[in-house]
């Protein structure tokens, strides 16, 4: 059994703690949160010791690995502390909001980076991972274009947006990671367009509510990411890949597949699964499973700190491109 400490008992901490506790080869050994009542709620539900100080959980002798689900600015410090204590790490995205700090953390980890996984959960979504596998099996021939649609149901609270790092580093970073994973090579050109179509208050933050990003790799593969902070019909998460021999695409998920027909409408379906915790339930479960499986088999992590750094590099390039309304070229 792998004994895991959950750092941070907020939105994502609650999801991960439950998945750790339910895993057949892991136990939730500890939960740490300065709001110790939040930590205690999770240990009451799933077991383990509650701590206010994350370092106490990291250094606890009965902890083999930690999952970092704390606010982004604490990730690097906690990741380095855990690795120095000999613990394996699954760290939430993004590594940091500062690109130099993220790359410095990767370099400081050295060989220990192989014991750190980054939390890009969408790679574990059953639909996305099936498309990835079927492309690798040659089902659509040569890869030409990837289209990603990624829309939140509504604008996050202003307090969240103030510290989020902006739509590219906070939200599009998930899609940029998917893009790198699907394209199989690094983009060398980034062109992004950013608008404030419904949230003028974002001007004060230099942020946008609606963006499009285009990527191109050295061999000419293309990707377009459409992202909005608001889609009135719900959390819209779709992906489409065109190749020389066909196309693969996935639909949004709903609670059931029932469709309604009457005199006014046909094909009427229930609402989309609401937001990330419901839409990506299975992806989060499989992500924790991949982390535990890699540890038990002493295999390299399936998503690395370098993946986190490269996605952040693309997010920074997209921000620069949108701000300057020009194409950004990367080496």
List interacting residues with ligand NAD (CB under 6 A).
Answer: 7-13, 32-35, 38, 54, 69-72, 74, 92-93, 119, 121, 276
Pick 27 or 277: Cβ nearer ligand NAD? 277
Q: Give the other-Cβ count within 10 Å of 142's Cβ.
A: 11
CB of 51 to ligand NAD, least distance (A): 9
CB of 315 to ligand NAD, least distance (A): 12
Residue with tokens 């539900």: 45
Pick 38 or 250: Cβ nearer ligand NAD? 38
Cα separation, 189 vs 299, whole angstroms: 33
Cα separation, 7 vs 265, whole angstroms: 48
CB of 221 to ligand NAD, least distance (A): 25
CB of 55 to ligand NAD, least distance (A): 9
First to last CA, the chain: 43
At 44, list the tokens. 């009451």
CB of 33 to ligand NAD, least distance (A): 4
CB of 8 to ligand NAD, least distance (A): 3
Cα separation, 115 vs 123, whole angstroms: 18
Q: Are 148 and 178 in contact (CB under 8 A)?
A: yes
Pick 23 or 93: Cβ nearer ligand NAD? 93
Pick 135 or 311: Cβ nearer ligand NAD? 311
The closest residue (CB) to ligand NAD is: 10
Pick 18 or 135: Cβ nearer ligand NAD? 18
CB of 56 to ligand NAD, least distance (A): 10
Please name which of 73, 75, 63 lies closest in space to residue 27, comparing C-alpha atoms.
Answer: 63
Q: Measure Cα distances from 297 to 58, 75, 76, 119, 292 in Å.
A: 22, 25, 26, 19, 9
CB of 259 to ligand NAD, least distance (A): 29
Pick 222 or 310: Cβ nearer ligand NAD? 310
Q: Are 220 and 164 in contact (CB under 8 A)?
A: no
Q: Are 290 and 97 in contact (CB under 8 A)?
A: no
Pick 140 or 301: Cβ nearer ligand NAD? 301
Q: DSSP letters of 76-112?
A: HHHHHHHHHTT-EEEEESPS-S-HHHHHHHHHHHGGG
Q: Are 241 and 223 in contact (CB under 8 A)?
A: no
Sign of CA dihedral 14, 20, 21, 22: positive
Pick 75 or 221: Cβ nearer ligand NAD? 75
CB of 27 to ligand NAD, least distance (A): 19
31-43 burial by CB neighbour count: b if 16+ within 10 A, else e? bbbeebebbbbbb
Pick 140 or 176: Cβ nearer ligand NAD? 176
């Amino acid at each position: 059994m792998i004994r895991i400490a959950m750092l941070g008992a907020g939105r994502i901490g609650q999801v991960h703690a439950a998945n750790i506790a339910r895993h057949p080869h892991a136990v939730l050994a500890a939960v740490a949160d300065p709001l110790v009542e939040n930590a205690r709620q999770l240990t009451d539900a799933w077991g383990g010791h509650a701590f206010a100080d994350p370092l106490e959980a990291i250094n606890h002798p009965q902890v083999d690995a930690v999952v970092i689900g704390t606010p982004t600015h604490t990730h690097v410090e906690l990741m380095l502390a855990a690795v120095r204590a000999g613990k394996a790490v699954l760290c939430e995205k993004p590594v940091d909001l500062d690109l130099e700090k993220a790359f410095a953390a990767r370099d400081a980890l050295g060989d220990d980076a192989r014991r750190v996984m980054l939390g890009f959960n969408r790679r574990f979504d059953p639909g996305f991972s099936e498309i990835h596998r079927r492309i690798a099996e040659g089902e659509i021939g040569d890869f030409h274009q990837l289209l990603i649609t990624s829309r939140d149901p509504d604008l996050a609270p202003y307090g969240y947006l103030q510290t989020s790092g902006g739509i590219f580093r906070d939200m599009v970073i998930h899609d940029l990671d998917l893009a790198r994973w699907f394209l199989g090579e690094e983009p060398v050109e980034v062109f992004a367009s950013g608008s404030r179509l419904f949230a003028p208050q974002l001007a004060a933050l230099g942020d946008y509510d609606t963006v499009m990003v285009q990527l191109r790799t050295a061999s000419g593969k293309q990707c377009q990411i459409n992202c909005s902070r608001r889609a009135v019909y719900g959390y819209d998460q779709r992906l489409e890949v065109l190749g020389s021999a066909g196309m693969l695409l996935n639909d949004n998920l709903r609670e059931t597949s029932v469709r309604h027909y009457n005199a006014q409408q046909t094909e009427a379906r229930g609402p989309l699964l609401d937001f990330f915790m419901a839409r990506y339930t299975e992806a989060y479960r499989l992500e924790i499973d991949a982390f535990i499986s890699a540890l038990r088999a002493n295999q390299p992590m399936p998503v690395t700190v370098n993946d986190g750094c490269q996605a952040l590099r693309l997010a920074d390039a997209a921000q620069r491109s949108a701000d300057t309304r020009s194409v950004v070229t990367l080496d």
